[in-house]
Amino acid sequence: MSELINTKILKLLSILIILASCAQDNDQNSFLPLNNQWVVDKEEATRWSMVKHYNLPTLTGSPEWLNYMNFLESEFIKYGVTDLYKNSWEFDRWVISEDEKNWTLSVDNKNIRVAYYGAYSGKTDLDGITAEMVFYDHENPPNDIKDKIVVIPTRKHPEKPYSNNYLTNYTYNDYEYVIDGETLPQPFEFVDPETSFTFDIWYQLAQRLDQIPEDGEAAGAIIVYDMAYDRTKGLYTFPVPDHYNSPTLILSREDGSKVIEAAKDNKKATIVLNSRMEKSEAYQLIGYLPGKNYGTDDDEQIILTNHTDGPSITQDNGALGILGIVKYFSNIPQEKRDRTLLIYLDCRHYMPGMEQSHKDVSWLNKNPNLKNKIVGLIQAEHLGEMDYKEVNGEVLPTGYTEQSYLWTRNNDYLIDSAKMALDRYGWSRGMLSVPERPGPNGKLQQVWWGVGIIALANELRNNENCDEYSCVEDSTSKSPLIW
């Protein structure tokens, strides 16, 4: 894994070098080729990754997250980052032990294996809550689930013709360029989990089934994923809901099938979700690797951003990629750095309600004049991930890296530079996507996901429907923008 992380850091470094070079009139390639002595090596990438490994899950406000943030801050300082600032606020953090005895299920007095818990779904004591179960049929939902334990299977994948939403988010799209493209499934087609389960997991997670017990005032909820236990175990709720009071448990296909049949017979169940609430501090970390004009009206800045919170070793490891970028540029004297690197590490992606519930306290939201200095953005996350499949209930590696996305603006220089970076480092299955124009086959090349929307700040800054993480699509726009 560390070798893959190191490789992907190099790709991001290459793109940032191109962005930083663009301002130079005489020699726009003065930072190229890369100096390999300045690039993160395998040993350092491994050391950084082990910080994540020993601090999981890394959820905002937790001791593990604070350890990760303290590590990042100390490393940034070592590489010359200055004017560090913590944009902080308090929030109610939902806390539960990873000890399985704190989230259990019994049906008709028989213990049922539980894959995981539903985050931010309320609490019980160790005696739990007992209620009659009711099965939730998506085609014929029950009239009333109030004060009952509702059992909800995930919806099946749709049949053709697929909606635009399904094609955009749950299939491979067209792309500008890719290495090892022959290993990818066909674009705009259903991806069988026996081939790769990346899209299948996201399709099931994104159904937001936690809204059903919340809206129906259920006593509790059991969500059954169409996944083997090994794929379901530890699957954190995402998108992350705001607090709701209907203790929720997650089951796999194997264990859930028995519970579904019991729910159809209205058997009783007992849910234990021994959690608690505590006041915690969240903060966004901001800092600067100064360019030659830092502190003056002539300063131009490139945002380096990602979220620092997540439940796995790779979900929120983009900050390590950013650290690698900062390390590299710290070797260049400030007077030769044409632009300032603005580090903006967010913390809201796995907080209750996610970014939207905390947008009023966002540092970017409180500093709208930043748009006058920002000339570019690089966002990095999910570095070093491998591809997996489920066959006969078993989770197996496909033998490939998971597909990756390298987004860029519709600018020939940036596109050519991105292609060059892919070729130079052999980024297998790294897909170059240009959302602002059709792909070579005339179809959609992905969309701007999440923080990529900041990259369109020049167009969006006067749109009242947009903030730094989401945008209501402008009906006159040719570029779809979604969360």
- In whole angstroms, what separates CA 229 from the centre of its chain? 22
In a shared domain, residues 146 and 20:
no
Weakest mean pLDDT among 125-134, 245-254, 305-314, 439-448? 439-448
Copy the structure tokens of residue 32: 């190229």
**In this structure, is residue 410 part of a structural domain?**
no
Please report, for residues 180, 201, 360, 400, 406, the alpha-carbon distance to residue 430 in angstroms, rounded to integers and kept in the order given: 8, 20, 35, 11, 7
Write the CATH number for 257: 3.50.30.30
The SS3 assignment for 350 reads coil
* Shared-domain flag, residues 327 and 257: no
- Taking only the tens place, the pLDDT of each residue in 368-421 is 788 788 888 888 888 889 999 999 999 999 999 999 999 888 889 889 988 988
Which range has highest mean pLDDT (21-25, 185-189, 303-307, 371-375)? 185-189
Q: Which domain holds residue 257?
A: 98-155+207-273
Residue-wise pLDDT for 136-184, tens only, equals 999 999 999 999 999 999 999 999 999 998 999 999 999 999 999 999 9
State residue 454's pLDDT score: 52
Joined together, the tokens standing for residue 36 give 């390999």
Question: Three-state secondary structure along 98-161?
Answer: CCHHHEEEEECCEEECCCEECCCCCCCCCCCEEEEEEECCCCCCCCCCECCEEEEECCCCCCCC
Is residue 146 located within the same domain as residue 235? yes
Does any domain span residue 468?
no
Domain count, the chain: 2
Assess if residue 475 is contained within a domain. Answer: no
On whether residue 448 sits in a domain, the answer given is no
Residue 1: is its pLDDT beyond 90? Answer: no
pLDDT at 457 over 50: no
The conformational region for residue 128 under phi > 0 = left, psi -120 to 50 = alpha, else beta, is left
What is the arithmetic mean of pLDDT over 116-134? 97
Is the confidence at residue 467, as pLDDT, over 80?
Answer: no
Q: Same structural domain for residues 23 and 122?
A: no
Residue 479 has pLDDT above 60, yes or no: no
Say what angle helices 2-21 and 42-53 make with each other, to 10 degrees: 110
Alpha-carbon distance 359 to 276, whole Å? Answer: 25
Are both 47 and 131 inside the same structural domain?
no
311 and 359, same domain (yes or no): yes
- Give the pLDDT band of residue 194 (cuts 50, 70, 90): very high
Residue 334 falls inside a structural domain: yes
What would the pLDDT profile of 292-316 be if each residue is shown by its tens digit? 999 999 999 999 999 999 999 898 8
Which of 384, 406, 426 is a domain's end point?
Answer: 384
Q: For residue 433, tell me if it sits in a domain.
A: no
Closest CA to 311 of 236, 251, 250: 236
Encoding tokens for residue 206? 């994104």
Q: Does a structural domain hold residue 304?
A: yes
The answer to whether residues 223 and 77 belong to one domain is: no
- My answer on whether 130 and 218 are in the same domain is yes
- Which stretch of 45-59, 241-255, 369-383, 467-481 has the lowest confidence by average pLDDT? 467-481
